[in-house]
Amino acid sequence: MSKVPFTTKEKLEEIIKEIPTPFHIYDEKGIRETARKLYDAFSWNKGFREYFAVKATPNPYLMEILKEEGCGFDCSSYTELMLSDKVGAKQHDIMFSSNATPDEDFKLAYKLGAIINLDDFTHIDVLDKLTGIPETICCRYNPGGEFKTSEKGNVMDTPKDAKYGMTHEQIIEAYKILKEKGAKHFGMHAFLASNTLTNEYYPVLAGILFRTAVEIKEKTGVQLSFINLSGGVGVPYKPDQPANDIKVIGEGVRKAYEEILVPAGMGDVAIFTELGRYMLAPNGALVAKAIREKHIYKEYIGLDACAANLMRPAIYGAYHHITVMGKENQPCDHKYDITGGLCENCDKFAVDRMLPKIDIGDIIYIHDTGAHGFSMGYNYNGKLRSAEVLLKEDGSFKLIRRAETPKDYFATFDFSDKYSFSK
């Protein structure tokens, strides 16, 4: 399988005339198609809803597109709640899933009418004292142990090592207490693995949650209104990796639903997801230019982008495919380290990558940065966050976030009377 950019060299050259590199670019057509495929895969469930994980790509223009496609928003912080509110998400359009949650975050989530997903048993008393328990409430479940499917290579962490969620005993007790405190509608949420490349992950997770839901009903009398499978459905960052089939995944969840929930009289439970990476990663790219070359013990190509624009390769050693625009059909007969300009040796987008010969000025397209790309940016070395561009369905483009300027960087200093940075 080859990886093909969702735009052309000619279009990027047109954009670059107005918006200098580096910038993240997003494909509206691809975003809409992904959302529609997801909803089709779960159309068997009357209450199905996707709650896009805002942390993956917190841009209101992209959120508006997803909102138009029927998505709600999963938030994990005060500012993400504010952003969801600004794009018109109302009450149960918002899911609030947080941990070590500050008081003010809980208060705002309650004020907005968001569905609050309690990460810990102790949060019941915290929320009750701050705002009272809302009529609709959710609890995050951590079954402990290890999570495995029959396929290999799809588990990032074992649940027992994760900081998230309640134990089995705690979540049973939690529903009893929440019911006593006046809650009327209940949900359950769990996240057990990251970026899985297997169609089994969601169905196996669903089986665990569905059986737990039946047990909760039997032991507490609480019948869940919704079960949130969270995220974890991954994307193939490497060309030789298989892509998930969302239709097959949805059918696997349906089978578990009909085998476990329906016989227990729970055939009206809504299924929720909160996919960030799956929804946006392949529909975004980081566009940069080759600006320097270096010939020492290895061959280096330096970009005008760096880890401050895309930190996943630097902190995880994550693979992102690279296309040299206009040279897609040339032989990959040159070995390069593709680097940024940070004062850190880990600031490399690729190590020993075979690519076509790269010349200064070439446009470098780094694939699959639509999620956890711009959002993880930072200002180390005084680097400024890049622009974001939307490639619209009609072929036009729109600047949806301008690049930072030095003035932005210095704006939070508290001595503007002494120092002035006007540029």
Per-residue model confidence as pLDDT tens digits over 226-243? 999 999 999 999 999 999
Half-sphere exposure (Cβ direction) of 124: Cα atoms closer than 13 Å: 22
pLDDT band at 416 (very low <50, low <70, confident <90, very high): low
Last residue of a domain, one of 261, 281, 301: 281
> What is the CATH classification number for the domain harbouring 194?
3.20.20.10
Is there a domain that residue 1 lies in? no
Long-range pairs, 397-403, Cβ under 8 A, ≥24 = 397/11, 397/14, 397/15, 397/25, 398/61, 399/18, 399/19, 400/26, 400/59, 400/61, 400/62, 401/59, 401/374, 403/19, 403/20, 403/23
Average pLDDT over the chain, rounded to an integer: 94
Q: How confident is the model at residue 156 (pLDDT cuts 50, 70, 90)?
A: very low
Q: Structure pTM?
A: 0.94
Q: Provide the domain count of the chain.
A: 2
Condensed to tens digits (0 to 9), the pLDDT of residues 96-109 reads: 999 999 999 999 99
**75 is annotated as an active-site residue:** no
Indicate whether 187 and 301 sit together in one domain: no
Structural domain ending residue among the three candidates 231, 249, 281? 281
Tokens 């996919």: give the residue: 275
Together in a domain, 405 and 315: yes
Residues 289 and 163 in one domain: no
Mean local confidence (pLDDT), 156-184: 89
* Contact in structure between 256 and 212 (CB atoms under 8 Å): no
- pLDDT tens readout for residues 351-409: 999 999 999 999 999 999 999 999 999 999 999 999 999 999 999 999 999 999 999 99
| Residue 21 domain-assigned (yes or no) | no
Identified catalytic residue from 138, 332, 343, 346: 343
Residue 312 belongs to a domain = yes
| 113 found inside a domain | yes
Any domain includes 83:
yes
> Which residues constitute the domain of residue 294?
283-410
Decide: 196 and 234 in contact? Cβ < 8 Å: yes
Residues 86-99 have a mean pLDDT of 97
State whether residue 329 is helix, strand or coil.
Answer: coil
The answer to whether residues 197 and 218 belong to one domain is yes
Report whether 261 contacts 214 (CB < 8 A).
yes
Q: Is pLDDT above 90 for 89?
A: yes
CATH of the domain at 293: 2.40.37.10
Q: Is 105 found in the same domain as 62?
A: yes
* pLDDT tens per residue, range 28-55: 999 999 999 999 999 999 999 999 999 9
Provide mean pLDDT across the span 116-129: 98
Residue ending a domain, choose from 281, 298, 314: 281
69 assigned to some structural domain: yes
**Measured between alpha carbons, how far is 19 from 388 in angstroms, rounded to an integer?**
9
Whole-number percent of the chain with pLDDT over 70: 95
Query: In this structure, how many other beta carbons lie within 10 angstroms of the beta carbon of residue 308?
Result: 23
311-344: per-residue pLDDT in tens?
Answer: 999 998 999 999 999 999 999 999 999 999 999 9
Residues 248, 127, single domain; the answer is: yes
Do 40 and 75 fall within a single domain? yes
Q: How far apart are CA 79 and CA 387, in angstroms?
A: 20
**Residues 87, 189 within the same domain:** yes
308 and 193 part of one domain: no
Domain presence at residue 12: no
